[in-house]
Chain A
């Protein structure tokens, strides 16, 4: 039981990170109908910006860890959002009305370009961040000598995710930007006829997705303490899987999918073998898609006339 509780905590932490990245995939898919394969790299860039920001803040003498982390979070969200905007503007918008595969190929190209850019400018070796937040609670001292612990870092990750998700849901459900975005998702041309600037709304979607990915990037960095130019690839594929599992296009689905993928991975590694954790996650995806082709919370595709 103790072991189970520990895995649950670990799984939720990992799942939070996947969920935040998955939202970027699902939002972009919802509004422009393309899979932004460069989104994993946006997450990676967010982590790098966060790392540089934290180290710079420490160097500037801001050593209060909560303040430094908060500032780094704001800086990472702003700058990564800018990256997201630039990627859409340069690589995707010119091809928006092109044939269906063009944006997909561009996205893969963009993904490689961003990886290479970071590898060249930051070096290919992995970058460590010394643990900034240590310690935690010990929830129970099991009879078997197995202690369930909940680190402060895990609490921060889960709480931040919940807070960011709440703000994000408010944005989507109750602001005029959110309504415009959902309108664009359903019928872009009609939204334009209602006075919605569709190009700007799509840009903002990329910015928001990138900002959320950078939150995930900062948490990934602080949790694992090491990043390299390649972290975006695996995390991106997992988050994409999470978005598909939850039902691509569905925002609650992305979060649910993220949590499930995180839990499956951690539990599989905990009870069976760590080598096959990815196989387990992808197998569950395959099984779910066979029985529920539109994912757990996805709506079946409605053909627009």
Chain B
């Protein structure tokens, strides 16, 4: 799916510079620099423990990185021009909304990242609100809109018309996503009762209900059977086409990665060891070495070969 022709129209969405995350003596992410382009599906692959999920946690506000900058631009990459001023001005963003806003994600609390920077994510070990219904899960994801429309609940309690309208719209949107993932019949069941594959789809739908510009998926195909992972591919491609969205994808299932990603970044020991289109990555000896491992005495040979 590498699409070289549209390179010119695909500018930078996310720029990660020198990102480092230390846990005591362990360096999980080590001076990682990384760029994701607007409209791309960018896959992040690497062996277990390479720092992929830590990287996601730093982007989405779960962790505060030890060092480094994570900048996200709305609109176009021209927004990055405001980045130095925001960085040295000690700000969290250049402006809170609209095109041309740039966000310093590493400085923002998690809920602001979801609300203003509009980054959404899913988890390797699914984190639905298991005790709430499918519909409620998708409505919580629209909390920002509903809360503002309800005048921070007071209007909602009084039953204002504007709130009723906002709520009806939120329910329509939730119903749309429930149909997209084929779970509309189970809208009022508790999310915890769904089978595993359906929970994964619901988690993606919930992330989409927050209206993201960047969707981060942490191993969405894990535990899915081949038919389900084919459905997932189709769903992700459709989402990308229809909702003007960029996707970051951590995945071990190479079938998924090679079929749907535009670009792939390979992490190992917290560093980016390779990046490029699926074809380039498939042929890259560094990637093969990282995945298959090489005996110690061959490391130097491999390094010499790949020019490290």
Q: Which residues of A contact B (CB under 8 A)?
A: 167, 170-171, 175-177, 179-180, 182-183, 186-187, 189-198, 299, 302, 305
A194 touches B141 (CB 8 A): yes
Residues in A with CB closer than 8 Å to B132 are 179, 182-183, 186
**B157 and A194 form a contact (CB under 8 A):** no
* Interface-lining segment among B145-153, B235-243, B245-253, B280-288: B145-153
Instruction: Establish whether residues A176 and B139, one from each chain, have CB atoms under 8 Å apart when the complex forms.
Output: yes
Knowing A171-B157, A186-B129, A187-B127 are in contact, say whether A179-B109 is a contact too (CB < 8 A).
no
Write the nearest CB–CB distance from B175 to chain A, whole angstroms.
Answer: 16
A175-B150, A191-B111 provided; 11 other pairs, C-beta below 8 A? Answer: A167-B157, A176-B156, A183-B132, A192-B109, A192-B111, A193-B110, A193-B114, A194-B114, A194-B206, A195-B141, A196-B140
The 10 nearest A-B residue pairs measured at CB: A176-B146, A192-B110, A195-B115, A195-B144, A177-B153, A195-B114, A192-B111, A183-B140, A194-B141, A186-B129
**Chain A hits for B60, CB < 8 A:** 193
A183 to B157, CA, bound (A): 19
Scan residues 128-170 of chain B and give those whose CB is less than 8 A from a CB of chain A: 129-132, 136, 139-141, 143-144, 146-147, 150, 152-153, 156-157
B130 and A302 contact, CB distance less than 8 A? yes
Decide if B210 is an interface residue (CB 8 Å cutoff). yes
In angstroms, how far is the closest chain A Cβ from the Cβ of B191?
10
Interface residues, chain B, with chain A CB atoms under 8 Å away: 60-62, 109-111, 113-115, 120-121, 123, 125, 127, 129-132, 136, 139-141, 143-144, 146-147, 150, 152-153, 156-157, 206, 210
Q: Which of A177, A187, A195 has the most CB of B within 10 A?
A: A195
CB distance from B129 to the nearest CB of A (A): 5
Chain A binding surface, main DSSP class: helix
Closest to A198 in B: B111
Name the contact of B157 in the complex, choosing from A175, A179, A189 (C-beta under 8 A).
Answer: A175
Which of B61, B111, B123 is in CB contact (< 8 Å) with A197?
A: B111
Residues of chain A within 8 A (CB-CB) of B130 are: 186, 302
User: In the complex, what residues of A have CB within 8 A of residue B156's CB?
Assistant: 175-177
Q: Which residues of A contact B114 (CB under 8 A)?
A: 192-195
Asked whether B143 lies within 8 Å of A176 as measured between CB atoms, the reply is: yes
29 intermolecular pairs with C-beta atoms under 8 Å apart = A175-B150, A176-B150, A176-B153, A176-B156, A177-B152, A177-B153, A177-B156, A179-B139, A179-B140, A179-B143, A180-B143, A180-B147, A182-B129, A182-B136, A186-B131, A187-B129, A189-B62, A190-B127, A192-B109, A192-B111, A193-B61, A193-B111, A193-B113, A194-B141, A194-B206, A195-B143, A196-B111, A196-B143, A197-B111
Which residue of the partner chain A has the closest CB to B141?
A194
Residues of B within 8 A of A179 (CB): 132, 136, 139-140, 143
Give A174 to B76 CA distance when docked, in angstroms.
39
A residues less than 8 Å from B110 (CB atoms): 189, 192-193
- A171 contact set on B, CB distance < 8 A: 153, 157
**Is there an interface contact between A195 and B111, defined as CB atoms closer than 8 Å?**
yes
In the assembled complex, how far is the CB of residue B53 from the closest CB belonging to chain A, in whole angstroms? 13
Closest B residue by C-beta to A188: B110
Q: Please indicate the chain A residues that have their CB under 8 angstroms from the CB of B123 in the complex.
A: 190
State which of B62, B120, B129, B150 has its C-beta within 8 Å of the C-beta of A183. B129
Tell me, rounded to whole Å, the shortest Cβ–Cβ distance linking A118 to chain B. 30
